[in-house]
Structure 1
């Protein structure tokens, strides 16, 4: 009984622990080279982030992304997850109120309705993208802070717009890091 058990153990270790991971990694590197390497964004020879993981932007001259519920710091990829606060939880209500206050303080003249993705965290806490409504909501502040016209800022959003996946999954959106990098290059 010991020999068949050891042979089975060695065989499964070889197939599941070595061959399968090598084959899947190889396929990933060939078929999805950018994503398998972390979808890193390189600027001037330096990695500035990933298009798959959000970053915190809080300066008024930048587009702000979704809130991150990760700890001990925002957008911590090793602590991915939502806050798990229900809609009636006082902590969630306070976080939303705090973000609304910050948005209104940064752009007091903005009377547009605040898009929900600017005041709530996602399930992962790492979303790198915001809705077009969230991007357009911030146009006035960005234009004012960077001394640009609103038309220029809107055209940058349109130029960086991502369409629905496969034409029907999800909503049109914009990657916050890519948009902010485009703004830095323009201004």
Structure 2
């Protein structure tokens, strides 16, 4: 299966069904359309760096072409995945919840800030800690912002809204297949789910 076929089978059909079912309201449509752009702009340098470092790769013959180190289809993923998550949230969640109490926002944001610092320390160590360091240093600041604006509404179980806002899929594992693995940092081939 190519990466484009993955989109055609697993992302576009559920997205189309959810958009027909959820029908985003015009008053919130701007936010729905802004999220994929933010995801694209924020994730592009990180993903290119990981491929450049050999942390993961994309097998030849499974992608159409590359922009930088990353295949075109990965950029499509950066756009389609937030649209899919957003459409699900439009269907499941009502209005966004009010921010939680000030103390919860400070404590939650502070914990994510500590994880950001841990990520920077792991980056400095490098080697086997590089990937975890990259994840924490690059994505934990997103959680800091979520806690600063959402507070306890970002805690798991608070509401359906928290399902899509507390932990982005790219860092919490709902993208189970991950990128198309190629070669690890040690250069050894790894099996891929793409054949």
Q: TM-score, normalised by structure 1?
A: 0.24
Higher relative contact order (CA 8 A, sep 6+): 2
Normalization by structure 2: what TM-score?
Answer: 0.23
**Structure with the higher strand share, 1 or 2:** 1
Task: Write 1 or 2 for the structure with the bigger share of helix.
Answer: 2
